[in-house]
Structure 1
Amino acid sequence: MIRAALLLALLLLQPLTATAQPKAETVTSKGGVVVCVSPPAADVGLKVLKAGGNAVDAAVATAFAMAVTWPEAGNIGGGGFMMIAPAGKDPTCIEYRETSPVAAKPDLFADGKVTWLNHKAAGVPGTVRGLALAHKKYGKLEWKTLVLPAAELAENGFTVNAVLAGGLNKVLADAKTTNAEFKRVYGKPGGEKWRGGDKLVLKDLGHTLRVIAEKGADAFYTGELADLLEKEMKAEGGLITKADLEAYKANERKPIHATFRGFDVYGPPPPSSGGVAIAEMLNILENFDLKKQGRWAPETSHLMIEAMKRAYTDRARHLGDPDFTKIPAELTTKDYAKKLAATIDLQKATPSAELAPEIPLDKQSDSTTHFSVVDKDGLAVSNTYTLENSYGNRVVVHGAGYILNNEMTDFNTRPGFTSTKGDIGTKPNQIAPGKRMLSSMTPVIVLKDGKPVLITGSPGGRTIINTVLCIVLNVTEFGMPIDEAVSAPRLHHQWFPDAARFEGVKSHPELVTKLKALGHTITEARQGDGHSIWIDPKTGLRTGAADKRLDGKAVGE
């Protein structure tokens, strides 16, 4: 048993910030700021702001540019969530999550023959209609103006940096990458390895983007582009039809709203699990004085892990597409959080198996990207979108040039099968025709006195929610500057497997020792890519922080 004196001693031994993580790159500005993983796409967004566009315009242009310059996750063949905070108004959410094709059955993956690399793993893409909905309701500039920069990058080619070159070489060398069109489009001519400084030209993708620019978003879901996707599906046994494409609809939804230490935290609602889970965890942690204990105190990390376990248990138990699943309203309430907080033993870890005894247990990588934007008038955008795995299902649509998602694997693919290894088979997120798969994407906007102060989010599959939690806590509870908040080591627990992942294993060895003494299993892994913006509520000065765990650039007017 660990006594308070020992915990206090440990706190005094720990550094205030971690040193092992790459330091975030920052930019400060009194005008607009764009922060994302792709430097060329950040530049596109900044040009739109300088041309008189607002933050939504810049976000749309950045997203399309990333579909060219960050093919690992930037996309028009996937889906996501965009949080928007108009000046003087409550934030809203543009939800453009993919849907299941009508032909998909609940047991699609049950026999193991359909994998994430299969055409059947692709959901109906939502990105183009989602960006169009955001632009229609909140943009200023002409649609064509926002899409053409991406088309030109693809048609004329862009310079590959060392980070992108490494990613392309890795996926092309992987024996699992078998799609001939993917290899043709993304392979370097002559079969050599990509190097920083090389030029990548994507003619087919450029044509597709030009059609979308000239004819509007519907051109992706009807006409020649829809014909190309349906042809691809028929040739390889996929499920998406032109009828699925034409029927796809993006939605504007009311965000999940939580309060924490005088801040208003807004996140995406279901079919994202992010907003609900963030609200539940913040509500739980508000019952404890984390700041007094210290950021790297064992008590703080212990409480964070226990809050994570409980939120992820409820994620498995209750969350799915709200059009198919009734989600309990109490999950985001303070009273419910107090009940959960009371179940936390301060002296030892709660075994995950004890948190949901009604769910039978069998004993048996993903790639997303996030960017943040604010304009000179204070309009804020937090956008996370994805192909699911890195480079989706590694299929390029013949003639259209874009990569398909493998989002069908975000459903609970084996109905009724929940395991201690992390498989979830509960009913709320099982496959059904036209259903949206549950997501962990968590673009968040935090307000203080009605004005945005923090714009953040991250990729990382189920780790996304906890990456965002760490950044939000670092800023709101511990008062860290945004570069430190983004760079600090992150923590993750997802109910099962019953183990916590911590980036600071090497930089905080004594903390790890004490957590193990409390009964936690601790492993180490890189987590997230949290490109964020802090807006000083007193001066209005904006600081963009590009998370350098992968790549990134922060630019300002």
Structure 2
Amino acid sequence: MNFKLLKPLGFILTFILVLNSCKTEQKQPRSIQRGKLADSIMVVSAREEASRIGAEILKQGGNAFDALIGVDMALNVAYPFAGSLGGGGFMVYRKANGEIGSIDYREKAPIAATHDMYLDENGDAIASLSREGALAVGVPGTIAGMFAIHEKLGSMPMAEILEPVIALAEKGYVVTENQWNRYRNYAAVFDSINGMETLYSVGFRESDSLKVKAGDTIKNPVLAATLRRIAQNGKSEFYEGETAQKLVNFMQKHGGIITLEDLKNYEAVWRRPIVSSYKNLKIIGMPPPSSGGVCLAQIFKMIEPYKLSTYGHNSLKSIQVITEAERRAYADRSFFLGDPDFNDIPIETLISTEYATERMENFSFKQATPSSEVEHGVIPGYESMETTHFSIVDQYGNAVALTTTLNGAYGSKLYADELGFFLNNEMDDFSVKPGVPNMFGLIGAAANKIEPQKRMLSSMTPTIVEKDGKLWMTVGTPGGSTIITSVLQTILNVADFEMGMQEAVDAPRFHHQWLPDVVTFEPNTFGKSLLDSLAAKGYQIRQENSVILGKVDGVLVLPDGTLEGGADRRGDDTAVGY
């Protein structure tokens, strides 16, 4: 026997066995812990009461658009932190036949608004004026949005849709531990801003003898009465009727500038969605005055050439690529984006592959690109935190992604006691003064300056994703400036890292927004060695317990048609499906 031949033959056999073993390992499917599963309908929102009302509307034969009205209005009752008639929002939809669209019912600056209304005699910004109290309030758009959606896409009578919402306001909702903490923390602020006690301060102050506890029920009969008038009289009730008059009287009493003319002139606007691609996915996003669709498209284009799935989820190289793309997209956001009815925005250029390639030319894995060296891109011929989201897929195949907001927590903190809801502080989303950051640290330029009847720029990013021409995902989140990056990473978690919907929304997240030049990480979720490696490359790291990078709610359509609801672990969010 020739032993000299056996030795190399052994090496060859061993190599073949190892190779086959590797191939076998690669073929093993990744084990996924799924969230809520359902055969035909799924509703995911910030509160169980709202999700259940939406699901019941679907069970009664209503469609996704009927359900979204029920969910949105129910959040006014059970989630006043962000859901309110006193705010506005955006909705992106995809019908079962593939038709897509979006509606903008973002708040507007009052007619009496001026570009310097928040500046002192020295020209310095007075931050409190745009963030608290009556001057911070933009003209609300929620009711106009709901009725516009109902008129075009709804199938059930509005009064029938609102019936369970009115019942919820009358019978009350259970205060969760999260809500109890928020009400307690803000009770004194509510009293101070309103000059009187409110429904959400009584029982939550240290001085109160009878205290509201987690698990107790809060009723809002005043809001029920407001909703009943709206159900009977339609959109005009809010913008011209008794409710409008009460709202204007309340605003003027507290020093606001919103008038009946402001309310009467308000209209929601149907807009063409931003459509882009990432690998084999079609991304359908919200156009300006939301910055979400444009920024999301930009970031996807910038990261597409890189092999994130090979680098690994939340690995050093993946974080670098995503952070640097975010840095550049947010720099462009600050300069180019605003209300399209007031600005000529170069959207097609911003979301093009050529522009994305150019923006990433100076990126290197060796070290961070300082934000001081990253300005907005050069385009020839061009001069110049709190929210809530829900996702719905109905039994007919329609899908909606809707994000609505008051801006900050409880908005301006101004509570219309005769109407039963908080009012927004969306005026802070304008560039109060170019170069001065807003409450989320975002810098704005002339494109987003205050002008009468103008819509302020937003980060809300309701998004629908198609795969191979079919509905694949509907997703969105609250979170102020972190909304865009949270939606981005959730989609990537499923598309590149093979996660299910629940895993994807629960996974640790990070955020960069150009300025301040800091990468924010959810605390206690990223390893020290990873963070040290990033710091060594020049990245400024921040971990704060108070930072929550969104509360994502989404629905994923599995290959067999089953729906998976992902309700973020960071809140009281709940998926309900059948």
TM-score where L is the length of structure 2: 0.88
User: Which residue pairs with 1:5 in the alignment?
Assistant: none
Task: Name the residue aligned to 1:12.
Answer: none
One-letter identity of the residue aligned with 1:237 = G
1:414 partner SS: coil
The equivalent of 1:435 in structure 2 is 454
Return the alpha-carbon distance in structure 2 between the equivalents of residues 138 and 344 of structure 1.
Answer: 45
Partners in 2 of 1:280 and 1:90 — Cα distance? Answer: 23
1:34 aligned to 2:52?
A: no
1:131 aligns with 2:146: yes
Residue pair 2:37, 2:577 contacting (<8 A) in 1 also: yes
Aligned pair in 2 of structure 1 residues 475, 242: CA closer, same or farther (>3 Å)? same
Residues 240-280 of structure 1 show CA distances to partners (whole Å, capped at 9, x for unaligned) of: 10100010010111111111110101110000000000000
1:72 aligns with 2:78: no
In structure 2, relative to structure 1, the CA distance for the partners of 1:183 and 1:243 (3 Å cut) is: same
CA contact (8 A) 1:287 1:341 kept: no
Distance (Å, rounded) in 1 between the aligned partners of 2:283 and 2:525? 32
Distance in 2, matches of 1:465 and 1:541, equals 27
* 8 Å Cα contact 1:416-1:427 kept in structure 2: no
- After TM superposition, list the pairs within 5 Å mapping 1:379-528 onto structure 2: 379-417=398-436, 422=441, 424-503=443-522, 505-524=524-543, 525-528=547-550
Q: Does 1:375 align with 2:394?
A: yes
Deviations 1:458-497 (A, max 9, x none): 1011110000011011111222111111111111101100
- Percent sequence identity is 39
Distance 1:237 1:505 in 2: 44
Equivalent residue runs for 1:268-417 within 5 Å: 268-328=286-346, 329-356=348-375, 366-417=385-436
In structure 1, C-alpha distance between the alignment counterparts of 2:442 and 2:349, rounded to whole Å = 25
Residue 88 (structure 1) aligns with:
97
SS in structure 2 at match of 1:501: strand
Q: What secondary structure sits across from 1:369 in the alignment?
A: strand
Deviation at 1:422, TM superposition (A): 3.6
Deviation at 1:158, TM superposition (A): 2.3
Instruction: Measure, in 2, the Cα distance between the counterparts of 1:415 and 1:339.
Output: 26
Identify if the C-alpha distance between structure 1 residues 174 and 386 changes in structure 2 by more than 3 Å, giving closer, same or farther.
same
Contact between 2:551 and 2:570, CA under 8 Å: does it hold in 1? yes
* Residue in structure 2 matching 1:543, options 548, 560, 564: 564
Aligned-partner residue type, residue 48 of structure 1 = I
Q: Distance in 2 between matches of 1:398 and 1:159?
A: 20
Aligned counterpart in structure 1 of residue 554 of structure 2, from 523, 528, 532 = 532
Partner of 2:178: 163
Task: State the Cα distance separating 1:224 from its structure 2 match.
Answer: 0.5
Q: For residue 251 of structure 1, what is the aligned residue in structure 2?
A: 269
Deviations 1:208-251 (A, max 9, x none): 11111111122111111110111012111101101000100101
Letter in structure 1 aligned against 2:491: V
Q: 1:185 to 1:418 in 2, by over 3 A?
A: closer
Q: 1:521 to 1:241 in 2, by over 3 A?
A: same
* Equivalence for 2:24: none
1:555 maps onto 2:564 in alignment: no
Cα 1:95–1:357 shift into 2, 3 Å: closer
Match for 2:393: what amino acid? V
Of the structure 1 ranges 331-340 and 313-322, higher mean CA displacement relative to structure 2 is found in 331-340
The answer to whether the 8 A contact 1:392-1:406 is kept is: yes
User: How far 1:177 sits from its partner (Å)?
Assistant: 4.4
Q: 200, 203, 224: which is aligned to 1:206?
A: 224
Equivalent of 1:60, from 39, 48, 69?
Answer: 69
Contact 1:181/1:395 (CA < 8 Å) preserved in 2?
no
Q: Which of the numbers 120, 136, 140 marks the counterpart of 2:135?
A: 120
1:261 is matched with which residue? 279
SS of residue matched to 1:114: helix
Equivalent position of 1:7 in the other structure: none
How far apart in 2 are the matches of 1:301 and 1:530?
19
Conserved? CA contact 2:191–2:197, under 8 Å: no
The secondary structure found in structure 2 opposite 1:372 is: strand
* Number of residue pairs the alignment of both structures matches: 527
Cα deviation 1:266-312 (Å, max 9, x = unaligned): 11000000000000000000011111111122111001000000000
> Which of 455-464 and 335-344 deviates more?
335-344
Structure 1 residues 416 and 516, CA gap change in structure 2 (3 angstroms): closer
* Residues 25 and 46 of structure 1, relative CA distance in 2, 3 Å threshold: farther
What's 2:233 paired with? 215
Instruction: Tell me if structure 2 keeps the 8 A contact 1:25–1:547.
Output: no
* TM-score (norm: length of structure 1): 0.91
Per-residue deviation at 1:180? 4.1
Pairwise CA RMSD of aligned residues?
Answer: 2.0
Q: How far, CA to CA, are the matches of 1:341 and 1:51 in structure 2?
A: 51
1:205–1:191 distance in 2 versus 1, CA, 3 Å: farther
Go from structure 1 to structure 2 and tell me whether the alpha carbon gap of 1:181 and 1:40 turns closer, same or farther (over 3 Å shift): farther
What displacement does 1:184 show?
Answer: 4.0
Q: Which SS does the other structure have where 1:53 is aligned?
A: coil
TM-aligned CA deviation for residue 504 of structure 1: 5.6
Instruction: Rate the CA distance shift 1:174–1:341 in 2: closer, same or farther, 3 A.
Output: same
Distance 1:115 1:449 in 2: 45
Contact 1:24–1:548 (CA<8 Å) still a contact in 2? no
Following superposition, the deviation at residue 115 of structure 1 comes to 4.0
3-state secondary structure, aligned to 1:494: coil
Separation (CA, whole Å) in 1 of partners of 2:209 and 2:477: 33
| C-alpha contact 1:25 1:553 (8 A) present in aligned 2 | no
Aligned 8 A contact 1:133 1:250 in 2:
yes
Gapped runs of 5+ residues in structure 2?
A: 1-31, 121-125, 379-384
Q: Distance in 2 between matches of 1:526 and 1:337?
A: 29
Report the residue type matching 2:324 in the other structure: E
Which one has the largest radius of gyration? 2
Q: Deviations over 1:484-537 (max 9, x none)?
A: 11111111101100000111654422221111111101112321100111111x
1:103-149 deviations in Å (ceiling 9; x for gaps): 01101112216241120100000011111111111111111111222
State the alpha-carbon separation in 2 of the partners of residues 26 and 550 from structure 1: 15
Taking the aligned partners of 1:200 and 1:188, their CA distance within structure 2 comes to 11
Q: Is the 8 A contact 2:47 2:79 kept in 1?
A: yes
Preserved CA contact (<8 Å) 2:335 2:444:
no
Matched residues in 1 for 2:43 and 2:568: separation?
A: 13
Matched-pair contact (CA < 8 Å) for 1:25–1:554: no
